[in-house]
Amino acid sequence: MTDLAAPARTPPLRSRARAPAAAELAMVPWLALLDAVQRERAVADLQVVEAQPGDYVCKIGRQANYWFGLLDGLLKMNNDGTQGMPITFTGMPPGGWFGEGTLLKREVYRYNVEPLRRSVVAGLGIETFHWLLERSIPFNRYVMNQLNERLGQFIAAREIDRLDDPDTRVARNLAALFHPVLYPGVGTLLRITQQELGYLVGLSRQRVNEALRALQAHGLIRIEYGGVRVLDLAALRRYSAADAA
C-alpha cells in the first residue's frame, strides 16, 4: 500500500536528463575544436539536466562517469564535513567544465558538487571523453589547459584560506569566479547574491555586503541588481585591505 503522507522523492539527476537544445550546444566552448565526426559523436552523447539545491552533481565516493559543464546557475565544490570542518573548495559559475582529472584516472569523486540555486548542467560520458582525447589534439590541449589553470586556482585558494582579513578574502574569491579561461561564460557580470557569495567565502551575508561596498569604493567592482560587475580584474586579484587602507 502506498503511504500517501510520505513526501515525494525527487528523481535522480540521470533520470531527468535530456538532449541539449541548439542554444545550449552553442554554450559548449570545446565543440568548436572538433572535426565533423568528433562533433557528431560528442553532440549525440551530451546530456543536459536541471539541478536544484539538494541535488548532487558529483558526490564523494561515487564513480565518475561524466565530464560536467555548467551552462547556467551556480555550483559549489566542497567536502562533506564528516571528517572535520566543512570546506568549500571553489565556486563554479557558468562556462566552467570540471571533473576531468577524476575521469582521466577513472576514479571515484573525492569532493561534492552541489547547486546553490537552479542550475543547468551538461554532461559528456566518460567513454566519449576518452575517445576524444585519443583522436583530437585540440581537445587534448583544451583539457590540459583546464588542468593547468585549475591547479593555479587551487594553489591560490590555499593562500586565500590563510587570509584573516574578510575584505581581502572576498576580493580574491570573487576574482577567482571571473577566471576567463575556466569560466568563459561569465564575462564581466556575475549573477550572484550576497548570500551565495557568503556560502563560498565562509562569511555572513552582512560581512560580505561590507566587503563588497569597500571594493566598490576602491573602484574595483560595481554592485548591480542581482549581481556584481568587475571593473578591474587585475587589481581585484592582487587586492589587499592592508595596502588599500
Residue indicated by cell numbers 542554444: 23
The two beta strands, 189-190 and 227-230, are: antiparallel
CA–CA dist 59, 216 (Å, integer): 36
Show the cell assigned to 61: 565516493
- Amino acid 6: pLDDT: 41
Instruction: Give me the amino acid identity at 35.
Output: D
Q: Across the 245 residues of the chain, what is the mean pLDDT of every consecutive 10-residue run?
A: 45 86 96 98 97 93 96 90 72 92 94 94 97 97 93 77 82 91 88 92 92 95 93 91 62
* pTM, two decimal places: 0.85
Phi-psi region of 12 (alpha: psi -120 to 50; beta: other; left: phi over 0): beta
Yes or no: say if 194 and 212 are a contact pair by the CB < 8 Å rule: yes
